[in-house]
Structure 1
């Protein structure tokens, strides 16, 4: 594959396929790396360092509340970056989103703790977390548009899986780095990181993100604008206020797109954030869990995430062959069944827990992969960045923002049983199924219209 821009008929310059794949993949990998670094620290570090000592459960809930606050900022980021993306183009907007995320993540690694500055510490953490959410609100939709608007005919879902692959790759990079640091700075207490890890080791993954951002910026600055956007500009179809236009003409698509993503988000954050808390909690603790040490359980999660990546890639050809809607209806039915099987699977010892992780992450790949094509296909080119971004990120409030908090509450209310958490997943997947049944197939829409 060529690495230089190719000329299309009419003199239009197109991005080579290798650059499209790399630009859509590397940006979301960095963004999800930054997000996972925070998610891991929200469980391991922030309850100990950024909130008043005394009540571990309260500190964990407060840490998850800050984690969820970023989801509230994401729709605002979708509106801001969507406006820029639909008026000024995909390239400049993606660069801005990546810079915002990278700077916020780097600064988290330099923040003072509660012991040093009191309540200013969680306030600054909240501010940086909101900046992360704001940036991610503009990142995903832009990366998905770069992939799908530059995809060959009949392969939009395949190309749409490349930005989705950023999620498993970012998870492996973030948690792999934390595992290396934890191995270098071991703890005598499996329920708590070592003092050296709490003093300075946790900061390394946040500070390291600036190196990854530099690489991502180099790739994205070498992109050329998509043909779909260029045609929109030449036809004079750019709206002065894309937000107003998309709500005026595509309200139904916004609502459907939001609920299409609901099961995906709930499953995503239960399998990544809640599972880390549940897996590490003592069997006979105040909130009973599985009792694994951090290193063992994260290694088990990474094995599951490998299946996440595999099935993300497989979902693209399936969605191109059988359609986005048909593929997702089948996967959503499987997620409903999976939620009802939590208790017997988690009661099956290490084999059962490993099967639970592999199945959950495999379903995650199958539901997440087609979204890279489906959500952009719901909207025309002149409001596509705004529309797909709003649907994707409003769903983050309904799903991801509250999922860890609701899961902890249900876990506590059920006396440590995961039954109600699994039932919550099944209920949210039921809402997604209803939306899919109400929607229509988008495989054959004209992406340049």
Structure 2
């Protein structure tokens, strides 16, 4: 077998890996996750504000909200499948090529959502028997969004972590992690702008105003593709591919999915459990509380969106602090801290919101997303460090999206069907306990040499 120089040495010690290269990698990983999650979040905002009346009004006022959030949750069921599909290709043909395809799939699905006729439009054209069709098309396109995001996150974090110097993986993994914060700011901002221009209850907003954020996705995808095409494949993957090509022994290598499940089932399951709280708090904040502030607290739609933009800045700061600081104290310890804080917060959140004031809503939303950020910051290095290079894309993606199903798909749907805010808080606290236990059972990854295999410390 050909002896190869350690890819980790290439990134950390080789002067050819310039600051310019790292800046390009940072921009590419951040831009990609920003665009993917912008597309994902505008659906969540629309599911909270307009989809119940446009696509599911036949179910009644309360049930339409539940059904709308169910379509939001469908994407989380598709995310593990996306992680498996795109993870396979990411581990076999490369991170860069796979990330280009995830971006295209997300962009096309999002633009098509913006072009969908709603139920009333279908009836207006004399097709009352097909009034259900737009809702079904919405679900299918939402599944496509889920597949894309399922393949996106692991690839974007691997792009940063596999290029980064070993002692700065937490720092560089922050760049793809702040993408969702920027995306939430942009999605809230675009809805707020169209809402202010057209009016809070203007029929024009419900007819076509809500479509503008979806259509703008096309421009963002073009920019994202340009950025991603301009970067090279990661050194670690190129070294792994070279090893595989130069190995003269009969190949009996497992597919990435089977390799991750057989060799590292603990990391897949416990990694997913450790990040379940993260997803719960994030989507409770970005989707459920957006609806709660408008429907239950009686706050105006523009005010809820404006507060959401402020909250995006808070959790971007939380993500950045936690990711960078995890290079000093460890990824596992930062995630443990966030889980410990999450448990009492679940009990007090709806007590704070019970004041029914804009300040209470702002405190509740910002606190929820700040706690999320303490876990999310180090997660970008934590999961990639936990898996072997051969199936890192697949393994990290499976763990991450397992957490997405439990915390991001199920939790907001269950919360929407609960009649008591107190019970929702108990659910959030219980998920915090679950993630705390899973994190305790995991090992620290900060000192692992990713290029040399799973168990090298």
- Taking structure 1 as the reference length, the TM-score comes to 0.91
- Which residue of the partner structure matches residue 222 of structure 1? 230
- Give the superposition deviation at 1:388: 0.3
Distance in 1 (alpha carbons) for counterparts of 2:41 and 2:185:
9
Distance in 1 (alpha carbons) for counterparts of 2:16 and 2:417:
59
Aligned with 2:164: secondary structure? Answer: coil
Aligned with 1:341: secondary structure? Answer: helix
Q: Deviations over 1:119-178 (max 9, x none)?
A: 111111111100000000100000000010011231101111111101110011111011
- Which residue of the partner structure matches residue 424 of structure 1? 427
Distance in 2 (alpha carbons) for counterparts of 1:6 and 1:344:
49
- RMSD of Structure 2 on Structure 1 (CA): 2.0
- Which residue of the partner structure matches residue 303 of structure 2? 296
Q: Deviations over 1:281-303 (max 9, x none)?
A: 2xxxxxxx211111112212221
Aligned with 2:72: secondary structure? Answer: helix
CA shift in 2, pair 1:240/1:224, >3 Å: farther
**Aligned partner of 2:448 among 437, 445, 449:** 445
**Aligned partner of 2:221 among 213, 229, 244:** 213
Distance in 1 (alpha carbons) for counterparts of 2:16 and 2:24:
19
Q: Deviations over 1:178-218 (max 9, x none)?
A: 1000011103xxxxx42101111111111110100000000
Bigger mean CA deviation after superposition, 37-46 or 140-149: 37-46
CA shift in 2, pair 1:89/1:10, >3 Å: farther
- Which residue of the partner structure matches residue 174 of structure 1? 187
Please tell me whether the aligned partners of residues 308 and 362 of structure 1 are also in contact (alpha carbons under 8 angstroms). yes
Distance in 1 (alpha carbons) for counterparts of 2:66 and 2:391:
37
Q: Compare the two structures and name the one with the higher helix fraction.
A: 2
- Which residue of the partner structure matches residue 433 of structure 1? 436
Q: Deviations over 1:29-55 (max 9, x none)?
A: 001100111011112221111124361
- Give the superposition deviation at 1:350: 3.5
Do structure 1's residue 85 and structure 2's residue 90 form an aligned pair? yes
- Give the superposition deviation at 1:358: 2.1
**Aligned partner of 1:19 among 24, 30, 34:** 24
Do structure 1's residue 261 and structure 2's residue 278 form an aligned pair? no
Count of aligned residue pairs for this structure pair: 428
Do structure 1's residue 318 and structure 2's residue 303 form an aligned pair? no
Distance in 2 (alpha carbons) for counterparts of 1:368 and 1:10:
31
Distance in 2 (alpha carbons) for counterparts of 1:278 and 1:217:
36
CA shift in 2, pair 1:52/1:256, >3 Å: same
**Aligned partner of 2:287 among 264, 268, 273:** 273
Alignment of 1:28-427 (within 5 A): 28-53=33-58, 55-115=60-120, 116=122, 117-187=130-200, 193-236=201-244, 239=253, 241-281=255-295, 289-348=296-355, 349-410=357-418, 412=419, 414=420, 418-427=421-430
Distance in 2 (alpha carbons) for counterparts of 1:211 and 1:435:
40
Distance in 2 (alpha carbons) for counterparts of 1:385 and 1:376:
8
Distance in 2 (alpha carbons) for counterparts of 1:365 and 1:359:
10
CA shift in 2, pair 1:179/1:8, >3 Å: same
Please tell me whether the aligned partners of residues 15 and 150 of structure 1 are also in contact (alpha carbons under 8 angstroms). no
- Give the superposition deviation at 1:113: 1.4
Please tell me whether the aligned partners of residues 15 and 223 of structure 1 are also in contact (alpha carbons under 8 angstroms). no
Distance in 2 (alpha carbons) for counterparts of 1:401 and 1:12:
40
- Which residue of the partner structure matches residue 286 of structure 1? none
Distance in 1 (alpha carbons) for counterparts of 2:34 and 2:99:
13
Please tell me whether the aligned partners of residues 312 and 365 of structure 1 are also in contact (alpha carbons under 8 angstroms). yes
- Taking structure 2 as the reference length, the TM-score comes to 0.90
Distance in 1 (alpha carbons) for counterparts of 2:417 and 2:180:
26
- Give the superposition deviation at 1:223: 1.1
Distance in 2 (alpha carbons) for counterparts of 1:394 and 1:112:
33
After TM superposition, the runs of 4+ consecutive aligned structure 1 residues lying more than 4 A away are 5-15, 237-240
Distance in 1 (alpha carbons) for counterparts of 2:163 and 2:274:
24
- Give the superposition deviation at 1:7: 12
Distance in 2 (alpha carbons) for counterparts of 1:429 and 1:54:
33
- Give the superposition deviation at 1:420: 1.3
Distance in 1 (alpha carbons) for counterparts of 2:11 and 2:299:
52
Q: Deviations over 1:399-440 (max 9, x none)?
A: 111111111122x1x2xxx21111111100101100111111
